[in-house]
Amino acid sequence: MIAAHLPALQIVVPLVSAPLCVLLVKARLAYALALVVCWVAFAISVLLLGQVLDSGVISYRLGGWAPPWGIEYRIDPVNAYVLLIVAAIGALVITYAKPSVAREVGSGREALFYTSYLLCLTGLLGVTITGDAFNIFVFLEISSLSSYVLISLGQDRRALTASFRYLIFGTIGATFFLIGVGLLYQATGTLNIADMANRVAPIEGSRTVQAAFAFMAVGLAVKAALFPLHAWLPNAYAYAPSVVTAFLAATATKVSIYVLIRTYFTIFGHDFSFEVMTLGPVLMVLAIAAMLIGSTISIFQDDVKRLLAYSSVAQIGYMVLGLSFDTVLGVTGGMLHLFNHALMKGGLFLALGCVFYRTGSVNIEAMKGLGHRMPWTMAAIVAGGLSLIGVPLTVGFISKWYLLLAAIDSGMWWISIFILMASLLAIIYVWRLVEAAYLSPSPENAPAGEAPLIMLIPTWVLVLANFYFGVDTRVSVGVATRAAEFLLGAGS
Amino acid sequence: MEWPGLYNYWIVIFLMMAGLYVVMARANLIKKMVGLSVFQASVFIFYLTMGKVAGGTAPIVIPGNPVYSNPLPHVLILTAIVVGVATLAMGLALIVRINEAYGTIEEDEIDAQEHDS
């Protein structure tokens, strides 16, 4: 009985718990509730992935209304995989959150923090699970509005302007998506994604459909922070509370990339996206520019959170590069990097949260000698950094390997040069951290001592996952390949 | 082409461009929010326009065999209006906080203060 309603519970549980957090008022109670809810959401996503892999696509009718009239939750190998990533990161980050939130958000606002966190999780899960184009917009705005709140809770006053800038960008992006959905509705008369996909194919030549494609592609590129539409991202990540940065960096842009994938491959189909609209070269150029420029800028950052934020811009380039090949190998590489980057950046930003918790700064100056003062935290940062570079035995290597294979497979071996160049740039910015932490003396009277265990354990779980999935690739590569085959098979 | 044709769409395009222009060209944060709202409102009108069926009436069951306009876009846009109101409220709340923190809501002055610090 319950098993049949898992898709609805995935959304309803965090959505209903969010206002309960406000009513609980006390930080400890709100934290306990949020913790339980996030782990329940994670358990549901594991069960859903199991069901999808066993018995194929799940179609859930919300309120019993049959699609295409009612809203349908449709779970296939692609979004079951993304759901799992989002829910897993959500659960790990909330476990870590309590001491960090108490320090960075301040008393009296903690219950509200957990409310926004749960709403943001609801929105991200909702965008992923739904099979209705308008529903995507609604959930996208739920997650965005709550993330504006989360970012503005940062201590630095620049968090406010960063949040405001994100609000302007995010609203324009989401409204562009809405315009695209409207044009598609006009052309096809449906909002259900599966139904839309069938009806778009015969009217490919229509100017309305082409305009819809353009609006949706640009709007989602803003939300995903695809270069050159990434201007909102660095400040938003740099000044948000550490917990929020870790959560958003590992999930929010990934979900936008997922919607991009849905739009390109499922709604419009890859024949239309890549042959009629010639999306491939456009994405490829933007992706390579993102990889090189993002990595180069991050070398010159002194604020380590900002450094990693620019590195995120570069990593989004890798994901989009994978998509731009329009082959099973390429999309597998992109999907793999989506998963792997969530592990690396989640781990790295959580470790930085530990640094901030103890030293009150994440500037590179403040990290001098940190390797001796906070050995476990610093080791986590180095391990995450290795994964970011793509050293063998880490997940970063696996996804870059697949991207290289895809480039060679598509006959574009020269792209591998850009992948290698971006990796070399990553070595430079990771080395700056290593140099500061291990080869420079600590300033006098520097605070020493490790962060609390409750913060270190989730950090290390994510960091060790980087190595586990870097060695045992059966699960991650297997699921990503199935997702890619599903996407390209559905499109042709 | 018959002039003015489907003039609603011209209004939509004008409002959309005007709204986006205000967001980009004005440094005052409140004016930016106004521009953003105009931009969103243009999309609301776009949805309402496409729901209209020529000669159609409101979708209420009445005797005879009337032509009905499509009610679905109206329902959709009701949701989008709520989102728009929430965005506006959020934006204005942030502007209040920015004014408290910086003492100004002009973007260039805020930028100058950020570069000094």
Q: Is residue B16 situated within a structural domain?
A: yes
CA distance B98 to chain A (A): 6
- CB-based contact, B52 to chain A, within 8 Å: no
Q: How many CA atoms lie within 13 A of A316 on its CB side?
A: 35
First vs last C-alpha separation in chain B: 59
Confidence of residue B89 (pLDDT cuts 50, 70, 90): very high
CA distance B84 to chain A (A): 9
Residues 6+ apart with CB under 8 A from A14: A37, A38, A41, A118, A119, A121, A122, A125
| % of chain A with per-residue pLDDT over 70 | 99
How confident is the model at residue B98, as a pLDDT?
92
A172:B73 CB<8 A: no
Tens-digit pLDDT profile for residues A41-81: 999 999 988 888 888 888 888 888 887 788 888 888 888 88
Confidence of residue B2 (pLDDT cuts 50, 70, 90): low
- CB-based contact, A210 to chain B, within 8 Å: no
The mean-pLDDT minimum among A210-214, A297-301, A411-415, B82-86 falls in A411-415
Residue A269 has pLDDT above 70, yes or no: yes
How confident is the model at residue A15, as a pLDDT?
92
Q: Is residue B36 situated within a structural domain?
A: yes
The mean-pLDDT minimum among A201-205, A393-397, B12-16 falls in A201-205
CA distance B57 to chain A (A): 19
Tens-digit pLDDT profile for residues A191-225: 888 888 888 888 877 888 889 999 999 999 999 88
Which of B53, B87, B108 to probe the A interface (max A CBs under 10 A)? B87
CA distance A413 to A420: 12
Residue A312 has pLDDT above 50, yes or no: yes
Confidence of residue A492 (pLDDT cuts 50, 70, 90): very low
Q: Tell me the one-letter amino acid at A374.
A: M
Q: Is residue B75 situated within a structural domain?
A: yes
CA distance A126 to chain B (A): 16
CA distance A429 to A436: 11
How confident is the model at residue A42, as a pLDDT?
93
Residue A121 has pLDDT above 80, yes or no: yes
A138 contact residues in B (CB cutoff 8 A)? 79, 83
How confident is the model at residue B1, as a pLDDT?
54
Residue A167 has pLDDT above 90, yes or no: yes
Q: Is residue B81 situated within a structural domain?
A: yes
Confidence of residue A374 (pLDDT cuts 50, 70, 90): confident
- CB-based contact, B48 to chain A, within 8 Å: no
Q: Is residue B93 situated within a structural domain?
A: yes
Tokens of A416: 């591998």
A164:B95 CB<8 A: yes
Average pLDDT over residues B18-46: 93
Residues 6+ apart with CB under 8 A from A142: A119, A120, A122, A123, A126
How confident is the model at residue B20, as a pLDDT?
93
Which residue carries 């990771």 as its tokens?
Answer: A430
User: Cα angle vertex A141, ends A135, A142, to 5°?
Assistant: 90
A182:B91 CB<8 A: no
**Which chain A residue's Cα is nearest to B78?**
A138
A152:B94 CB<8 A: yes
Tens-digit pLDDT profile for residues A10-38: 889 999 998 998 888 888 888 899 999 99
Of B32, B94, B102, the CB nearest to A163: B94
CA distance B29 to B32: 5
How confident is the model at residue A491, as a pLDDT?
41
Q: How many CA atoms lie within 13 A of A490 on its CB side?
A: 23
- CB-based contact, B83 to chain A, within 8 Å: yes
CA distance A161 to chain B (A): 7
DSSP summary character for residue B3: S
Which residue carries 């009985």 as its tokens?
Answer: A1
Average pLDDT over residues A454-462: 88
CA distance A191 to A185: 6
CA distance A146 to A113: 9
The number of folded domains in chain B is 1
A145:B80 CB<8 A: no
The mean-pLDDT minimum among A70-79, A321-330, B2-11 falls in B2-11
How confident is the model at residue A248, as a pLDDT?
92
The mean-pLDDT minimum among A235-249, A368-382, B29-43 falls in A368-382
Average pLDDT over residues B84-109: 92
Cβ(A389)–Cβ(A423) below 8 Å: yes
Rounded mean pLDDT of chain A? 87
Of A141, A175, A186, the CB nearest to B50: A186
Quote the pTM value: 0.92
- CB-based contact, B47 to chain A, within 8 Å: yes
How confident is the model at residue A259, as a pLDDT?
92
Q: What is the CATH number of the domain that holds B15?
A: 1.10.287.3510
- Which of the two residues, B19 and B117, has the higher pLDDT score? B19
CA distance A157 to chain B (A): 6
How confident is the model at residue A1, as a pLDDT?
62
**Which chain A residue's Cα is nearest to B76?**
A134
Q: Is residue B25 situated within a structural domain?
A: yes
Q: Which helix (H) or strand (E) holds A19?
A: helix A6-24
Q: Is residue B2 situated within a structural domain?
A: no
Rounded to whole angstroms, what are the CA distances from A112 to A11, A116, B89? Answer: 19, 6, 17
Q: Strand A72-75 and strand A58-61: pairing?
A: antiparallel
Confidence of residue B18 (pLDDT cuts 50, 70, 90): very high
How confident is the model at residue A154, as a pLDDT?
86
- CB-based contact, B38 to chain A, within 8 Å: no
Confidence of residue B43 (pLDDT cuts 50, 70, 90): very high
What range does the domain containing B87 cover? 7-116
Q: Is residue B1 situated within a structural domain?
A: no
